[in-house]
Amino acid sequence: MIARVWRGYTKPEHANAYEAMLKPELLPGISKAPGYQGSYLLRRNLGGEVEFVTILLWDSLDAIRAVAGPDYETAVIPEERRKYLSHYDAKAAHYEIAATHGLPGTDR
């Protein structure tokens, strides 16, 4: 399993609106993509800005490439969401999940 990790930052006054856009689904239609296993949305108040971390779980890099294309590390940010971001990672990082503990159905 692969975790796709990305960070974006908003001004505090935009954080709730940005989070509300991400809560139903991190990316429009992503839940129907073959190989998609789920996601986490993390939020941290840094004082002058709010950091969001998204972690999308996939079966494989091939599944990610099928959605993101050959330049799969490039962040996919819909325009309507980009306007809330003050800055963000241009690339997502990909990690092989080596172990999980205590998550239903995922102990490795």
Q: For the segment 55-89, what is each residue's pLDDT rounded down to a tens digit? A: 999 999 999 999 899 999 999 888 888 999 999 99
Task: Check residue 74 and give its pLDDT.
Answer: 95
Residue 7 scores a pLDDT above 70: yes
What rounded mean pLDDT belongs to the chain?
91
How far from chain centre, in Å, is Cα 12? 19
Task: For the beta carbon of residue 4, count every other beta carbon within 10 angstroms.
Answer: 25
For 2-96, the fitting CATH number among 3.40.1190.10, 2.40.110.10, 3.30.70.100, 3.40.640.10 is 3.30.70.100
For 85, the 3-state DSSP assignment is: strand
Residue 23 scores a pLDDT above 90: no
Extents of the domains making up the chain: 2-96
Give the count of alpha carbons within 13 A of 11, CB side only: 5
